[in-house]
Amino acid sequence: MSAKILGVGSCLPSLRMTNEDFIAHRFYKDIDQPFEDSNETIIEKFKEITGIQERRYAHKEQTNSDLGIIAAQNAIAAAGIDPEDLDYIIFAHNFGDVRFASNHLDMLPALASRVKHALGIANPNCVAYDMLFGCPGWIEALIQANLYIKAGAATNCLVIGAETLSRVVDPHDRDSMIFADGAGACILSANNDTDASGILAHSTQTFTKDEAFFLNNGPSLNSKHHIHEKYIKMQGRKIYEFALTKVPAAMKIALDKSGIDITEVKKIFIHQANEKMDEAIIDRFYRLFKAQRPEGIMPMNIQFNGNSSVATVPTLLDAVVRGEYPEHELHKGDIIILASVGAGMNINAVVYRW
């Protein structure tokens, strides 16, 4: 029994924040130590490294689960199934619902339960729970849903990845410009057809010996700013070096398990974390096979959507499926790879036949 994606959906907030919107911020390189460079210089260097020109922020009245509900509704509509036929709803996130101008993390009830409630599902056998796995959370939820289906424990699973990182960033940290909001979802269902489409293989790894706190929560770089609050913090250089060696290796494990030759891979949907880093990961992945990287192998939209954590892969996949990027069309039988890296430090990859 294999599992295939019946439909995808997404929700990208309409509020766009450009790099110029950060000009008036006061950035610090360490606690109470401002940068010597002007904000114009800081922002220009930031764009050169990450590729980000703008990002999406949720509107004041929106929460993370609100975005997830919309993405779920769109995925259900695309799949053409009755929500009452869902066996599992798995909601990948990291910070729960965070209200505007608040740093309080609200995870009770679970966001998956909120989605089930909003969808009006009465079926008590539809199990709803949350997945906390850093940025690779949506792919890991997809892997779990696949295992339920392969074990005969489920037929239809709703897998959601959504985050509102704009609510948990330190405005005095230049890394705050990386993060964004969004939601993506898919319906993964048992494939009884003979077309061989669906998930072929996966790999997942967690590195904690030295890497566990590369991403964590910490105080603002401005000691006078909300002194009792904590914000998302990351050791950028260490994460970059970690990702460049570990992610290609994990992708290779998944591809080797699948029995698919590297030349058959048509597209790689990688977590939209940092343009320069993602490009380097793909280059190293192909070098592991002593193969030439094909042109147009990696769709990318971080330039305009920023890094929305668990939402980057499903929102990118949905955009391609809906034809937003004609140069990245998917055709029946295409082999694609989904891959991500993030807090934990966690890495995963899925090989999928479209």
Euclidean distance between CA atoms 225 and 236, whole angstroms: 22
- The percentage of residues in the chain with a pLDDT greater than 90, rounded to a whole number, is 83
User: Which of 96, 194, 203 is CA-nearest to residue 142?
Assistant: 203
216: pLDDT strictly greater than 80:
yes
Distance in angstroms (rounded) separating the CA atoms of residues 185 and 50: 25
The CATH number corresponding to 198-353 among 3.10.20.30, 3.40.50.9100, 3.40.47.10, 3.30.70.580 equals: 3.40.47.10
Q: Where are the alpha helices (DSSP H) in the chain?
A: 39-50, 64-79, 111-119, 137-150, 236-258, 275-288, 302-305, 312-321
116-169 pLDDT per residue, tens: 999 999 999 999 999 999 999 999 999 999 999 999 999 999 999 999 999 999
Residue 36 has pLDDT above 90, yes or no: no
Predicted confidence (pLDDT) per residue in 39-84, tens digit? 899 999 999 889 999 999 999 999 999 999 999 999 999 999 999 9
Answer yes or no: are the C-beta atoms of 280 and 244 closer than 8 Å. Answer: yes
Beta bridge partners of 205: 347
Query: Which regions of 173-248 does DSSP assign to beta strands (E)?
Result: 181-191, 198-206, 215-218, 231-234
What pLDDT does residue 194 have? 67
Tokens 């037929």, residue located: 155
Residues present in the chain in total: 354
pLDDT tens readout for residues 158-205: 999 999 999 999 999 999 999 999 999 999 999 877 678 899 999 999
How confident is the model at residue 201, as a pLDDT? 96
Peptide linkage before 109 cis (omega within 30 of 0): yes
Residue (of 272, 344, 321) closest to 78 by Cα position = 321
Quick check: 172 and 1 in contact, CB under 8 A? no
Query: Tell me: the pLDDT tens digits for 224-236?
Result: 877 678 899 999 8
- Two tokens, residue 198: 């669906």
pLDDT-derived band at 29, boundaries 50, 70, 90:
confident
Q: What pLDDT score does 34 carry? A: 86
Which of 125-154 are b and which e, b meaning 16 or more Cβ less than 10 Å from the residue's Cβ? ebbbebbbbbbbbbbbbbbbbbebbeeeeb
Angle between helices 111-119 and 64-79 (to 10 degrees): 50
Q: Are 55 and 115 in contact (CB under 8 A)?
A: no
How far apart, in whole angstroms, are the C-alpha atoms of residue 120 and residue 142?
A: 23
Q: Regarding predicted confidence, which is higher, 196 or 255? A: 255
Strand-pair partners of 88: 127, 157
Q: Helix, strand or coil for residue 158?
A: strand
Per the prediction, the chain carries an average pLDDT of 94
For β-strands 335-342 and 265-270, DSSP reports them as parallel
The average pLDDT across 197-214 equals 95
Superfamily of domain 2-191: Thiolase/Chalcone synthase (3.40.47.10)
Provide the β-strand partners of residue 156: 189
The reply to whether domains 2-191 and 198-353 share a CATH topology is: yes
At residue 70's C-alpha, the angle toward residues 108 and 184, to 5°, is: 90
Per domain, the residue ranges of the chain are 2-191, 198-353
pLDDT tens per residue across span 280-306: 999 999 999 999 999 999 999 999 999
Q: What percent of the chain has pLDDT over 70?
A: 99
- Whole-angstrom Cα distance, residue 268 to residue 255? 12
Structure confidence at residue 191 (pLDDT): 84
Name, in order, each residue with C-beta under 8 angstroms of 31's C-beta and a sequence gap of 6 or more: 219, 221, 223
* pLDDT number for residue 2: 81
